Chains A and B, each alone.
Chain A
Amino acid sequence: QVQLQESGPGLVKPSGTLSLTCAVSGGSISSSNWWSWVRQPPGKGLEWIGEIYHSGSTNYNPSLKSRVTISVDKSKNQFSLKLSSVTAADTAVYYCARDLRPAYGSGSRFDYWGQGTLVTVSS
């Protein structure tokens, strides 16, 4: 049973950088899956942030691309999210998830999720 666990500061100052890590257990991050970040502002819907493959290949939501970096640490079986120049609009629950999309092509589906972590942007 794959498990994902987000960790990181719950409070970030405006203009700062949000940093989160997702630890994967019960499976290898080097398996043939993509690994994604999805966020959900309080009371609102889901927004895909971006994804990474164990090779280091990444794809980002164009609306966030200039501020987002996703990286992978295979030795620790985890991947990370950095979002720079944050504002109050970045306040959300951040989820990490496993995506069963093949290495090349369409067909993403998120079958395992972390429990989510609330990040508040406030001074």
Chain B
Amino acid sequence: DIQMTQSPSSLSASVGDRVTITCRASQSISSYLNWYQQKPGKAPKLLIYAASSLQSGVPSRFSGSGSGTDFTLTISSLQPEDFATYYCQQSYSTLCSFGQGTKLEIK
């Protein structure tokens, strides 16, 4: 199984900050990496797929990069609605797996 490890597990930031979340795979997954945002009591929302492609309707302040085993999600200028939990997901294997999540909180 491919293990996904996110860092940090939690993060405090202010509106307007630039934020980066990291996801590492236990083996190379090429660019088969997606990012989701989840708010309390809601289903996850797809933000980025194939490591760097922006899902339709997602603001351009969200961006993704990386390949192989190391990936990043960057929010260029935090907005109040961005405070949520973020998950990475590898889609290299039929058995897809998620990172443990990064909770982004207001400082």
Contacts and interface: CB of A to CB of B under 8 A. Distances in A.
Contact of B97 (A48, A114, A115): A48
Contacts of B95: 48, 59, 61-62
A59 B95 CA distance: 8
Nearest to B35: A109
Choose among A45, A47, A61, A97 the residue with the greatest number of B CB atoms under 10 Å from its CB.
Answer: A45
B68 to A, nearest CB: 15
Interface stretch (A19-27, A69-77, A79-87, A100-108): A100-108
B93 A106 contact: yes
Interface stretch (B15-23, B43-51, B75-83): B43-51
A13 B49 CA distance: 38
Helix, strand, loop or mixed for chain B's interface?
A: loop
B91 A48 contact: no
Helix, strand, loop or mixed for chain A's interface?
A: loop
Interface residues of A, number: 20
Contacts of B1: 62
A59 to B, nearest CB: 5
Interface in B82-107: 87, 89, 91-101
Contacts of A101: 91
B96 A108 contact: yes
Contacts of B93: 106
Interface of B: 1, 32, 34, 36, 42-46, 49-50, 55, 87, 89, 91-101
